[in-house]
Chain A
Amino acid sequence: MRAMKFRAWLALVAGILPATLAAIVLFLALYSWPAMHFNGLGFVVRDTWNLGNLYADPIMRHGMQVQPGATYGILFLIVGTLASTLIALAIALPMGIGAAIFLAEAVPAQLRLWISFLVELLMAIPSVVFGLWGYVVVIPFLGHHFYPLLARTLGKAIPFLGAPSGSGYGLLTAGIVLSLMIVPIIAATLRDALVSQPASLREAALGLGATRFEALWKVMLPGTRKTLIGATFLALGRALGETMAVLMVSGNALNYLPHRIYDPVSTMAAFIVSQLDSALQDPTGLAVRSLAEIAFVLAIISIIVNALARLLLLVWNNSQRSVMV
């Protein structure tokens, strides 16, 4: 009897965690409801975010008080978010796989602990410190040296990479900084999966005459495919929602779709930070509610991506260790 009571209490207190998640989603949905009603589905396909004429008196539209000329569309944010995330993944995936391979197979066991720690430490570095590094070091370097070079060489053949190469703030910089933040997720998860592969797999491959690298590349690595997909989803979720670092290096474009890889962009997460101050100028409150709608959309996307990632990792390899990101 007493034991049941203890368990019930524990279950109740533990329930604060699911309740918090539900509260976030529900509250953002309720708060942004008027904005959803006003913006409709066009919210995600329009590429203009305009608070309207803030000096005029509010008018009635769709049974709601709005500033004349107000339209809210986030297509440019969706494009910016997806593009920067894709670039980040395109860099982080090969790099993470390479690092994991070398860590798991080539680094001596004594040294492995230290280098693994160094790589995982990247996960612990605060996002705003990445932003600082990007702002003071990466942007001048890329903007003055690497991007002009890239535009002069590859840019000749591919218009998307062509000149002008911009100031250094922009899509590619955001992608590069983001990739560094998500590489450790992929590297750490994949390294664990490689280390826990049965040794007999490698021995069988070596016995058939494969070189050590062939055994790894053709036998061990395919065995970790599912873990890799799960880790990629985790990394995707992290990149989609990353705020501070992107805010500091992306150039924070407004109502602008990137034509070149160097163009300034903004992402959904960064936009919420950069626009709240001006949204507060809207006396009808619709702008603040539209920002809440962005937060709601972002929450739903990240919940779906993360739930998928965890389900894949859970169902497929039942691993005990979960990488905290």
Chain B
Amino acid sequence: MPMSTLTAHRKSPHQIRLTRRLASLGGWGLSGLCLAALSVLMVWILAVVFVRGVGALKLSVLTTITQGTGGGLLNAIEGTLVLSVGALLLAVPFGVAAGIYSAEYRFSRWAVTIRFLADVLVGVPSIVVGYFGYVGMVEWLGWSFSVAAGSIALAIISLPYICRTTELALRQVSNDLRDAAYSLGADDRRVILGVCLPAALPSILTGILLALAVSVGETAPLLYTAGWSNYLWDGHLTHSPIGYLTYAIWNFINEPFAAANALAYAAALLVTGFVLIINITARFVLDRRARRR
């Protein structure tokens, strides 16, 4: 009898294989379910934005300015472009310079510091940057809600993105290219600006485009720096608030009027569409071209 109780607990090799196989099958099933759920949610979000957005997007939305809680979004479209392009103009020179330094002198202590702090700055919540913009520029410098304050806040957000993508782009450039240039007697400046930068340019431009997409989608840094305006931009850099699309999404979806909600959906479609187009272009056109070089 003791013999049989012992063997009773033991499973035959065949049984072990079966339970393990079932467990493995269950594991694949669960993980597949996770991925499927994620994809479905992604498509769901896009579908909501596109279906409701297309229903709300009329030509007049693109050509007229906001009136109260109705009208159009021309002011917001213009404002988003002005703020994002302004942010790029400010962030690109510094971001690219920081990226070049941390790639080309990558073992120096300063480069390691910059690289690390760029990663930390990416993680600083955008509302913190926005509030910094409010107390620093709107209040302390007395610019009030303005294009300058909004653009600088957005530039702070995009600075680390541009730095890191520039750095990664330059790292893809083969060292043979650098060696060849140095052996021809070129100095650092010629090697970096004349040889490495042109070779990495497509990837750097891709990174700048992605930074533009981030700027267009930001809300929190602008709420208390750019303010909001129903009118087109008057050309002043300070002391005049400006509208932007993400504010329209946030503010108009909370209004109890159908016209206001329609504006929010239209704005969401414009912002999401723009972000999608940039990401798809970056991934499937520029990235591939950059890799072919």
Query: Interface of A with B (CB < 8 Å)?
Result: 2-3, 6-7, 10-11, 13-18, 20-21, 23-24, 27-28, 31, 94-99, 101-103, 106-107, 115, 117-119, 121-122, 124-133, 135-137, 180, 183-184, 187, 211-214, 216-217, 234, 237-238, 240-244, 247-248, 269, 272-273, 276, 288, 291-292, 295, 298-299, 302-303, 305-307, 309-310, 314, 320-322, 324-325
Contact = CB atoms under 8 A, between A and B. Distances in A.
7 contacts: A20-B156, A27-B136, A31-B136, A99-B31, A133-B45, A243-B126, A309-B123
A272 B127 contact: yes
Q: Is the interface of A mostly helix, strand, loop or mixed?
A: helix
A234 B120 CA distance: 10
Given A17-B118, A24-B129, A98-B34, A124 B220 contact: no
B35 interface: yes
A24 B124 contact: yes
A6 B189 contact: yes
Contacts of B124: 21, 24, 241, 299, 302-303, 306
Interface string B12-33: 0000000011011101101111
B148 interface: no
B41 to A, nearest CB: 6
Given A214-B24, A299-B128, A102 B123 contact: no
A23 B126 CA distance: 15
Contacts of A133: 44-45, 48-49
Interface string B32-58: 111101110111110011001000000
Contact of A298 (B32, B125, B192, B214): B125
Contacts, number: 275
B34 A99 contact: yes
Identify which of B35, B118, B264 gathers the most chain A CB atoms within 10 Å of its CB. Answer: B35
A106 B218 CA distance: 35
Contacts of B24: 211-214
B268 interface: yes
B253 interface: yes
A101 B97 CA distance: 38
Interface string B243-262: 00010011001000000000
